[in-house]
Amino acid sequence: MSTELEVLKKILNGKDKTPVRSISSHLGYGTDYIRFICQKLAERDLIKCLGRNWYKITAKGQKELERRGLIKKRLKNRGLKIENPVWDRVQIPVIHPSKIVKLKSELAEPKTEKLRLGKRIEKAASFLRRLKIF
């Protein structure tokens, strides 16, 4: 794992804000090096500088750590509460027989979508389709 990701993860593990000295002591690097890395991370808007040596992770920084798989994705609670869902009362919609025939015909003939890969690759794909290889 790169030093930048280690610093991001350490800042995330800090409660509200994290000092440079704490990061450098936990990671074993010098304070000047950690300060330089924090400045570069702040330029990329992954962390926010709260003072001379205090930093806080931003939403963009958390998304970067989630994208790299270093932390689990956090689900946001949007105020929705599900209390004892009653599945017995769920009504199954009745489908008219004419709609079933239409659904079967759609399944029988899958729609082919054009791949957007570029002109040369598209020509090669169409050539292979004609040969029934692709």
Proportion of the chain above pLDDT 90, given as a percent: 16
Question: Is the model's pLDDT at 105 over the cut of 80?
Answer: no
What is the model's pTM? 0.53
Q: What is the rounded average pLDDT for all residues in the chain?
A: 76
62 vs 80: which has the higher pLDDT: 62
Question: Is the model's pLDDT at 52 over the cut of 60?
Answer: yes
Q: Flag the least confident range among 38-47, 48-57, 76-85, 111-120.
A: 76-85
For the chain, what are the domain ranges? 3-68
Mean pLDDT on 44-48: 91
**What are the backbone dihedrals phi and psi of residue 53, each rounded to the nearest 5 degrees, phi first?**
-130, 20
Using CA atoms, how far apart are residues 43 and 17, in angstroms rounded to an integer?
18
CATH class of 3-68: mainly alpha
Using CA atoms, how far apart are residues 54 and 56, in angstroms rounded to an integer?
7
Q: What pLDDT is stored for residue 109 in this prediction?
A: 55
Distances in whole angstroms, Cα of residue 37 to Cα of each of 1, 23, 42, 43, 74 = 14, 11, 9, 10, 26
